[in-house]
Amino acid sequence: MPFLELQDIKTHFTLRKGMLAGKTIHTVKAVDGINLTIDHGEILGLVGESGCGKSTLSRTVMQLIPATSGSVILEGQNLSTLRHREVRAKRLDFQMIFQDPYASLNPRMTVFSTLAEAIKQRHPKLKGQALDRKIAALMERVGLDPRFIQKYPHEFSGGQRQRISIARALAPEPKLIIADEPVSALDVSIQSQILNLLLELRKDLGLTMIFISHDLSVVRYIADNIAVMYDGKIVEYGDAEEVFNNAQHDYTRKLLDAVPHIAHSA
């Protein structure tokens, strides 16, 4: 049984004319018939340009946006059929890392408060020194000094804020992480650090990941398999190295052509 299975997922948005239930003027097919399977411990790289539907797909998997049709099956359970309360409880098993850590972190909450809130979703009775130790261990796990536990997001660099976001995603002890462009806003040197951290977490915690990016070179570094998305559909799928070295679809080849290459002088 696959760890995660997407069966003919369609997420369409209807545009209407009129104040109330007006006339349908256009339907945007943001996700249009996606079929994917992801094994336990796998990192799937989901690649495509802005507007191709990859972020909508990630939010559909997270059950933040309801699918128009199709099924999201996690460990044999169809998330698409669960009630809102059941989805909230199940969401502890799948967490998300967003592109902009400053926007996704509450500026009025310290690191301690942010992580404590997330930890208590899984362990509501944890408090005192036990909670302090768990938060400190979580910070160390993502490469942050626990001495900074009472600081606010604006007191950290962009790379440190992304580490806080990763720690928050790990706090409920999920099985699946969806990382939506988690390094695109970071300097190149910091990008590599975050990518290596995600690989360590996959290895140490047995996590399964969907890593979303527009950059094939970044995805090649971290992913086991790559799915290339264009206009709401998967147009190419395969082993990361195979896709990178032997792309079959014209769109994939265009993405590869956009990867910067260093010219060597004679």
Domain boundaries, the chain: 4-257
- Strands 208-213 and 225-230 turn out to be unpaired
CATH architecture of the domain covering 4-257: 3-Layer(aba) Sandwich (3.40)
pTM of the model: 0.91
Cα separation, 145 vs 86, in Å, equals: 36
Separation of alpha carbons 34 and 85, rounded Å: 26
Q: At what angle are helices 158-170 and 111-122 packed, to 10 degrees?
A: 20
Q: Residue 29 pairs with which residues in a beta bridge?
A: 12
Cβ pair 210, 38 in contact under 8 A: yes
From 189, 204, 193, 243, select the one nearest 44 (Cα to Cα): 243
pLDDT of residue 264: 44
Each residue's pLDDT, cut to its tens digit, for the chain (266 residues) gives 899 999 999 999 987 776 566 676 788 999 999 999 999 999 999 999 988 999 999 999 999 999 999 999 999 999 989 998 999 899 999 999 988 888 889 999 999 999 999 999 999 999 999 999 999 999 999 999 999 999 999 999 999 999 999 999 999 999 999 999 999 888 888 999 999 999 999 999 999 999 999 888 899 999 999 999 999 999 999 999 999 999 999 999 999 888 775 444 44
